[in-house]
């Protein structure tokens, strides 16, 4: 029987400029759907897991398009609620070379932002579930979403479900001060904590010394120190961080590190040179999904991390939010085949 993974968050309509046009140049937008936890669900469904995505969408054709996008990729939509007034939107201007990408949100008062705890039967949702994944984006959406996230976490732990979080700090949604207040309280329910250096600093107040991703510099000893502090403070089973070295918007170094919170074993993955980048949106989500998949598969933490890093490196080559790769493709890259040769 396939293991059941539940994720919860906001799926949005994504409107992106064609190619690398600026907003002011665009006469049309490319349309797709995505969102942190939805992207994780799609990846895990691709890898063969039974996934259920929890959200609220408006009872209109746009809401149904979002649900259809999930169903297309075998994500379970049994518990999606139809309520509220609108689907959140985000506009994406893809950067290139030294010009950064830019995101504009239009998600205030979206269906999930106004959804109430009473609309969801969390006891039923987590029945027979093995894993629950959420991100720091969902509680950042609204105060109602904070209560919704907390209720889901309490129900997940009551059901004995393993819980992972991707800290995912979004400065356009809330301040670091509010993020620390809210997320610190929620960490008591978390087994596996995933993030990057900015997330650890802005969300939980832990900073890796001598690291500047904008200069392509990493200090692994600093990450190990931060991971030890996080393990001491919250008792996480695993602490995981993606490591992006941003040489430009088109050229990144990509790796990750992980620590066993019990033994304090620390491991740094192989590093991929990802260039040219087609679309980095969803890169962190594909990484989180890969690590979760590896751990659910029963891989040791090193191999789970390598699977996640390889999956995410491949996501950078795919337009859209979803990581539409197979297990075989990820495993081949993790095993060392990054040639990109035509498969005949």
CB 110 within 8 A of CB 86: yes
> How many angstroms separate the CA atoms of 167 and 204, rounded?
9
Q: Which of 149, 136, 119 is nearest to 194 (CA)?
A: 136
Domain ranges of the chain: 4-334
pTM, full prediction:
0.94
For a pLDDT cut of 90, what percent of the chain falls above it? 85
Q: Classify residue 210 as exposed, middle or buried by CB count within 10 Å of its CB (0-12, 13-18, 19+).
A: exposed
> How many angstroms separate the CA atoms of 71 and 28, rounded?
26
User: Taking residues 24-49, what's their average pLDDT?
Assistant: 97
pLDDT in tens, 59-74: 999 999 999 999 999 9
Residue 49 Cα distances to 65, 113, 130, 192, angstroms = 23, 28, 11, 18
User: Taking residues 18-35, what's their average pLDDT?
Assistant: 95
Peptide bond into 276 cis (omega under 30): yes
The pLDDT score that the predictor gives to residue 246 is 87
User: Taking residues 268-283, what's their average pLDDT?
Assistant: 92
* Average pLDDT taken over every residue of the chain: 94
Is residue 39 pLDDT above 90, yes or no? Answer: yes
Beta strands in the chain (DSSP E): 4-8, 12-16, 30-34, 50-54, 56-57, 81-82, 89-93, 102-106, 131-135, 162-166, 192-195, 238-248, 251-260, 266-268, 272-274
pLDDT in tens, 75-133: 999 999 999 999 999 999 988 889 999 999 999 999 999 999 999 999 999 999 999 99
The pLDDT score that the predictor gives to residue 284 is 93
pLDDT in tens, 232-250: 999 999 999 999 888 888 8
> How many angstroms separate the CA atoms of 46 and 315, rounded?
13
pLDDT in tens, 200-241: 999 999 987 665 555 556 789 989 999 999 999 999 999 999
The single residue of 121, 285, 300, 321 carrying the catalytic annotation is 285
Q: Write b or e for each residue in 114-151: b if 16 or more Cβ atoms lie within 10 A of its Cβ, otherwise e.
A: bbeeeebebeebbeebbbbbbbbbbbbbbeebbebbbe
CATH architecture of 4-334: 3-Layer(aba) Sandwich (3.40)
For a pLDDT cut of 70, what percent of the chain falls above it? 95
Q: Classify residue 72 as exposed, middle or buried by CB count within 10 Å of its CB (0-12, 13-18, 19+).
A: exposed
CB 236 within 8 A of CB 230: yes
Count of all residues that appear for the chain in the document: 344
> How many angstroms separate the CA atoms of 88 and 190, rounded?
27
Q: Is 208 helix (H, G, I), strand (E, B) or coil?
A: coil
Q: Does the active-site annotation cover 78?
A: no
pLDDT in tens, 162-195: 999 999 999 999 999 999 999 999 999 999 999 9
Is residue 196 pLDDT above 90, yes or no? Answer: no
> How many angstroms separate the CA atoms of 236 and 131, rounded?
15
């Amino acid at each position: 029987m396939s293991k059941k993974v539940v994720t919860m968050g906001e799926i949005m309509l994504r409107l992106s400029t064609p190619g690398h046009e600026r907003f002011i140049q665009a006469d049309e937008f490319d349309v797709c759907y995505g969102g942190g936890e939805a992207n994780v669900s799609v990846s895990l469904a691709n890898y063969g897991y039974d996934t259920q995505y929890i959200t609220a969408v408006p009872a209109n054709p746009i809401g149904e398009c979002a649900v259809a996008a999930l169903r297309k990729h075998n994500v379970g939509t049994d518990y999606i609620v139809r309520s509220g007034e609108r689907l959140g939107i985000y506009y994406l201007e893809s950067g290139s070379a030294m010009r950064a990408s830019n995101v504009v949100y239009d998600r205030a008062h979206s269906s999930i932002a106004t959804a109430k705890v009473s609309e969801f039967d969390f006891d039923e949702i987590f029945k027979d579930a093995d894993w629950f994944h959420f991100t720091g984006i969902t509680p950042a959406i609204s105060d109602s979403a904070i209560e919704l996230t907390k209720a889901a976490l309490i129900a997940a732990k009551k059901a004995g479900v393993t819980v992972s979080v991707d800290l995912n700090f979004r400065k356009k949604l809330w301040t670091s001060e509010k993020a620390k207040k809210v997320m610190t309280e929620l960490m008591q329910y978390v087994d596996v904590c995933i993030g990057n250096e900015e997330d650890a600093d802005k969300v939980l107040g832990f900073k890796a010394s001598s690291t500047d991703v904008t200069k392509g510099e990493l200090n692994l000893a600093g990450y190990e120190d931060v991971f030890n502090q996080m393990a001491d403070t919250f008792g996480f089973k695993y602490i995981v961080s993606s490591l992006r070295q941003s040489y430009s918007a088109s050229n990144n170094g990509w790796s990750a590190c992980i620590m066993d919170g019990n033994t304090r074993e620390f491991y740094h993955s192989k590093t991929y040179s990802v260039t040219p980048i087609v679309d980095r949106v969803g890169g962190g989500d594909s990484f989180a999904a890969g690590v979760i998949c590896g751990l659910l598969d029963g891989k040791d933490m090193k191999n789970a991390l390598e699977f996640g890093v390889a999956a995410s490196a491949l996501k950078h080559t795919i337009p859209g939010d979803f990581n539409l790769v197979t297990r075989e493709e990820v495993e081949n890259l993790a095993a060392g085949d990054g040639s990109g040769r035509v498969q005949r």
